[in-house]
Structures are given as C-alpha cells and as structure tokens.
Amino acid sequence: MADVTPTPIDGDTLLRQRTVRVLQTGFRIAVGFLAIGLVLSAIQREALPHEFGSPDEVVQDVFDGSPVGFLGLGIATIILTPLAATIAIAVTFVQFGDRRYALISGAVIVVLLISLSLSVL
C-alpha cells in the first residue's frame, strides 16, 4: 500500500499559502459583488452612476437591490483585503509561536487602522 502521509509543510510555505488564500478570497468576493452589480445594472437597464454613496448608503442600496450598492461593496472589499491578509499573517505568526513577528504584524495592523481612521474621519 502506498504511503499517503502528506509531506510536512514548513512554516514559511504555510504562511505564504494562507496569505494567498486570504488575498484570493478577498478578490473573489469583490469580483462577485461587482459582477452582481453589473448584472443588476444590465437587467434594470440602469447606467452606472458617477459616484458611490456614503458607506451607510451603500449598505442601504444593497438591501434595496440597487446595482450601485453591490458595486460599492465590491470596491470596499478589495480595499480592505490587504488589511485582512495582514491579520491572517499575524494570526499565523501567533500560531507558530513567533512572538517577534506576531508583534510586528500586530503593529502594522494598528498603524493601518490608525491611518484608515485618520483618512476617513
């Protein structure tokens, strides 16, 4: 019987795989929202608008089934994907017991959140 024991994956490979998975997932979700928005826009024969509403309006538009809501959600998802990848990296370092890089990744997340709040406020 063939040996089916999987080859052990080293930490760096796992780190890369997880980061790829988060980036891909974020991208796919964003593309999904954008596709829904474009299809709805075609069905409702509605031209694409020239701007999105505020984050609150985008959420309301999604519940109303408006194309612009889904398009806005798609763009917001892609913007937040690098932040999600950084969180996944920090979690992986914690799991590996790599305290130094867990702290460094945590610091990156904090600085990103500060810059996001400064820029949006």
Write out the residues near other proteins by the rule CB under 8 A: 12, 15-16, 19-20, 23-24, 26-27, 34, 38, 48-55, 68, 71, 75-76, 78-83, 85-86, 89, 98, 100-101, 104-105, 107-108, 111-112, 114-116, 118-120
From the list 75, 84, 72, the residue with the least C-alpha distance to 25 is 84
Between 3 and 27, CB nearer to other proteins = 27
Shortest separation between residue 2's beta carbon and other proteins, angstroms: 27
Joined together, the tokens standing for residue 16 give 């890369």
DSSP states along 80-110: HHHHHHHHHHHHHHHHHT-HHHHHHHHHHHH
Shortest separation between residue 3's beta carbon and other proteins, angstroms: 25
Residue 43's alpha-carbon distances to 25, 39, 52, in angstroms, are 27, 6, 19
Rounded distance between C-alpha atoms, residue 94 and residue 96, angstroms: 5
Between 3 and 51, CB nearer to other proteins = 51
From the list 92, 120, 119, the residue with the least C-alpha distance to 104 is 92
Shortest separation between residue 84's beta carbon and other proteins, angstroms: 10
Shortest separation between residue 6's beta carbon and other proteins, angstroms: 19
Rounded distance between C-alpha atoms, residue 66 and residue 69, angstroms: 6
Between 4 and 120, CB nearer to other proteins = 120
Between 3 and 46, CB nearer to other proteins = 46
